[in-house]
């Protein structure tokens, strides 16, 4: 398992409407990995690698500092949920004491995360690593965060 | 901030006549303009701004809900209207389902914080299955206004 899996997008951002104030990157990145105890699953009979991974859930966590002046607004929230839904793992975002489902646009909007807000993204499950990378890449492309 | 602080009561549409994305947006913008005059702006400018935003990605975020919006200086403060379509309108939603509840938000260009807080209030309300059910059953502007007010009260407790 790789450690920091933060993707760097080299292309120019394609967002046509957002003006983004470029600020020095100071997002704290915190990636933790915990092995959860194996949970029984319906497909226990399979001995494939995928099944093995599904049984040992991986939890990854990363801090996200919102750098877009418009905050984590509707468009990135919808895109985030759409991407999160492509993965089996659980995706949650935490702001202070509020934790919401990362697969629901309405939940994400409840965070009202303005510029300067720090959120904690947590992904948990078999495809957690790929999900974390895809979601962080997406937020970077949409200029919600800087990596 | 409460929903009844930014929803323009007289612009609420309990039953949309339009059945296309563009038609719904135009009907809602016209309704807002009648209820609160835009500053030095033709309504068509606002329609274009909202449609331009829709072209980037649909604001149909699933569960039969869409939140079309634009930043536009026709308003010096955030204004909003709510509209219902009993038959539903295709809106290229995230879940592919037709939209029955529309919330149109127009915010001044220099107040992104208000826009986010309004989205928060609306989202908090529309996460509630009971509220969505009540709204979809509402047939008058007064009833919709009452439901929004009750949702505000519920959120503040």
Tell me the domain boundaries of chain A: 57-141
A25 is catalytic: no
Q: Give the model's pLDDT for residue B64.
A: 95
Contact B57 A75 (CB under 8 A): yes
Query: A7 or B151: whose pLDDT is higher?
Result: B151
Is 90 exceeded by the pLDDT of residue A8?
no
Residue of A32 and B78 predicted with greater confidence: B78
Is 60 exceeded by the pLDDT of residue B37? yes
Asked whether the predicted pLDDT for residue A18 surpasses 50, the reply is: no
Looking at per-residue confidence, does A84 or B156 come out higher?
A: A84
- Given phi > 0 = left and psi -120 to 50 = alpha, else beta, which region is B108? beta
pLDDT tens digits for range A60-77: 999 999 999 999 999 999
Q: What is the CATH number of the domain that holds B151?
A: 3.40.930.10
Helix (H, G, I), strand (E, B) or coil at B127: coil
Nearest to A106 among B112, B117, B126 (CB): B126
The proportion of chain B whose per-residue pLDDT surpasses 70, expressed as a percent, equals 99
Range B51-72 average pLDDT? 95
Domain count along chain B: 1
Residues of B in contact with A73 (CB under 8 A): 112, 115-116, 119
Is A70 close to B57, i.e. CB distance below 8 A?
A: no
List residues bridging with A92 in a β-sheet.
A101, A122
Determine the number of helices (DSSP H) and then strands (DSSP E) in chain A.
4, 5
Per-residue confidence at A10, pLDDT binned at 50, 70, 90? very low
Fold for A57-141, please state it. Answer: 3.30.1340
Q: What is the mean pLDDT of residues A22-29?
A: 36
Tell me the two tokens of residue A57: 């859930």
Q: Looking at the partner chain, which of A70, A82, A109 has a beta carbon nearest the beta carbon of B112? A: A70
Between B27 and A55, residue with greater pLDDT: B27
Chain A residues within 8 A of B115 when measuring between CB atoms: 70, 73
Residues A73, A95, A103, A146: which is the catalytic one? Answer: A73
Residues of B with CB under 8 A from a CB of A: 52-53, 56-59, 61-63, 65, 67, 69, 94, 112-113, 115-117, 119-120, 122-124, 126-127
Who wins on pLDDT, B49 or A23? B49
Q: Is the pTM of this model over 0.95?
A: no
pLDDT value at position A80? 98
pLDDT, residue B157, reads: 63
Nearest residue on chain A to B94, alpha-carbon basis: A82
Q: What pLDDT digit, counting tens, does each position of B82-129 carry?
A: 999 999 999 999 999 999 999 999 999 888 899 999 999 999 999 999
Domain hosting B66: range is: 3-155
* Residue A105 distance to chain B (closest CA, Å): 6
Is A56's pLDDT higher than 80? no
Average pLDDT, chain A: 74
Confidence tier at B40 by pLDDT (50, 70, 90)? confident
Beginning with the edge strand found earlier in the chain, give each strand of the sheet holding A34-35 in spatial order.
A34-35, A58-65, A118-125, A90-95, A98-101
Q: Average pLDDT for residues B128-143, to the nearest whole number?
A: 96
- The mean pLDDT of B75-79, rounded to a whole number, is 91
**pLDDT of A33 over the 90 cut:** no
Instruction: From chain A, pick out residues whose CB is under 8 angstroms from the CB of B63.
Output: 106
Residue A140 or residue A49, greater confidence: A140
CB A57 within 8 A of CB A125: yes
State the average pLDDT over residues B24-39. 92
Element (H, E) at B142: helix B141-156
Task: Report the C-alpha gap between A80 and A86 in whole angstroms.
Answer: 10
Q: Give Dmax over CA atoms of chain B in angstroms.
A: 40
What is the per-residue pLDDT for B155?
82
Helix residue spans in chain A (DSSP H) = 49-55, 74-84, 105-110, 128-141
| End-to-end CA separation in angstroms for chain A | 21
For residue A9, what pLDDT band results from cuts at 50, 70 and 90? Answer: very low
For residues B39 and A88, the model is more confident at A88
Interface contact B120-A106, CB threshold 8 A: no
């Amino acid at each position: 398992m790789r450690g920091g899996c933060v993707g760097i997008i080299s292309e120019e951002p394609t967002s046509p409407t957002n003006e983004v104030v470029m600020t020095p990157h100071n997002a704290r990145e915190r990636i933790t990995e915990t092995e959860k105890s194996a949970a029984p699953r319906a497909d226990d009979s399979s001995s494939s690698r995928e099944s093995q991974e599904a049984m040992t859930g991986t939890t990854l966590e990363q801090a996200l500092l919102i750098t877009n002046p418009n905050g984590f607004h509707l468009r990135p929230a919808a895109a985030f949920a759409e991407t999160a839904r492509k993965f089996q793992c659980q995706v949650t975002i935490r702001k202070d004491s509020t934790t919401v489902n990362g697969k629901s646009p309405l939940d994400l909007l409840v965070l009202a995360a303005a510029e300067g807000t720090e959120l904690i993204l947590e992904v948990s499950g078999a495809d957690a690593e790929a999900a974390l990378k895809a979601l962080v890449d997406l937020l970077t492309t949409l200029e919600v965060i800087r990596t | 901030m409460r929903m009844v602080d930014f929803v323009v009561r007289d612009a609420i549409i309990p039953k949309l006549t339009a059945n296309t994305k563009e038609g719904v947006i135009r009907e809602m913008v016209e309704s807002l303009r009648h209820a609160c005059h835009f500053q030095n702006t033709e309504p068509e400018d606002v329609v274009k701004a909202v449609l331009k935003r829709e072209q980037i990605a649909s604001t149909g975020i699933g569960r039969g809900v869409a939140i079309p919006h634009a930043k536009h200086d026709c308003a010096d403060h955030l204004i909003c209207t709510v509209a219902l379509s009993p038959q539903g309108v295709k809106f290229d939603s995230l879940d592919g389902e037709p939209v029955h509840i529309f919330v149109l938000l127009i915010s001044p260009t220099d107040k992104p914080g208000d826009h986010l807080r309004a989205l928060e209030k609306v989202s908090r309300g529309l996460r509630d299955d009971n509220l969505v059910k009540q709204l979809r059953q509402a047939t008058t502007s007064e009833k919709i206004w009452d439901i929004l007010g009750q949702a505000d009260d519920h959120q503040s407790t």
